[in-house]
Structure 1
Amino acid sequence: MAFTHDEHAAPADRAQAADGPIRLLAIRDTPLSVDEVFASVGDDAAGGTALFVGTVRDHDGGSAAEVTGLAYSAHPSAEAELRRIAEKIAADYPVRALAAVHRVGELRVGDIAVIVAVSCPHRGEAFEASRRFIDDLKSEVPIWKHQTFTDGTEEWVGA
């Protein structure tokens, strides 16, 4: 399920869409686009946009071996939880627009796993809201990571 913006509406008009400031929320099994997420939060009343991009790294602090790959899986309630968090961020901050997409399936080192973007009237608000959005997403949305390592070991994270 993906919530998207109206590509033909002017940025300020999109802020008044049915979903209010929530422009794009999705969990996808295809590569993610920074350009798509950034464009979805454009708003003429926003003086600051914060964009976070999480990528698959080649190591994890808990293992001496390198990460060779990972797979993300999501509970069926993950999109509803993502929306709940987005609504809370929009209520707690002066958000003009926000978006988040998370990848599921097999990913390689360097692949984009998650993108969060928030636009607000001022940069400080955008930074704070973005930080809270990604932190809450990582701690509350039921998405799990299965990592494999060069030494043949594997682990589940977030399960």
Structure 2
Amino acid sequence: MLAAESPFEGERENALAAAKRMAERKGLTLDEAAAMREQAAKEKPKQEAKGPSTEAEREFANRFATATHLMDQEIRREKARREAALKAAQERGLDAEERRAEERRSRQRSSNRSNSKARMNPYRHAAVLLAETSLPFREVASITGLDIYQIVGMKLKMRNVA
């Protein structure tokens, strides 16, 4: 019985309690359930996982494969239909206003980034980040654009020597 195989006391107790509940549901004692399990294991030879063996199993497997294939085709057809409908709507100009608004927002974001005159000196920025945050060196390097060796050097120079 599986309950006896566990090296842990609590696990054995829980497995035994679960086995008792299952046996009671079937109206059996624990010994009767264990005997039935052993008998079923002897009667049913282990089959290798070669695929369906009977004609009915092969027929079911074929139908299942066909249905799966058809579902995949239907999904592809629906995606193509959606893309065609979206393209047709864009050509008719149904979302032209939304696209123009998004382009304006995009241009504003890019112009704000490129024309900013208030950029902090990267060395000063790195010093502030190293002193006031616990960001990793790689993150500070990617934010400031400095080399990681420069960041590590700055951190070492910022230490208080005792």
TM range (shorter): under 0.3
**Structure with greater helix percent:** 2
TM-score by length of 1: 0.17
TM-score by length of 2: 0.17
Bigger CA radius of gyration: 2
**Structure with greater strand percent:** 1
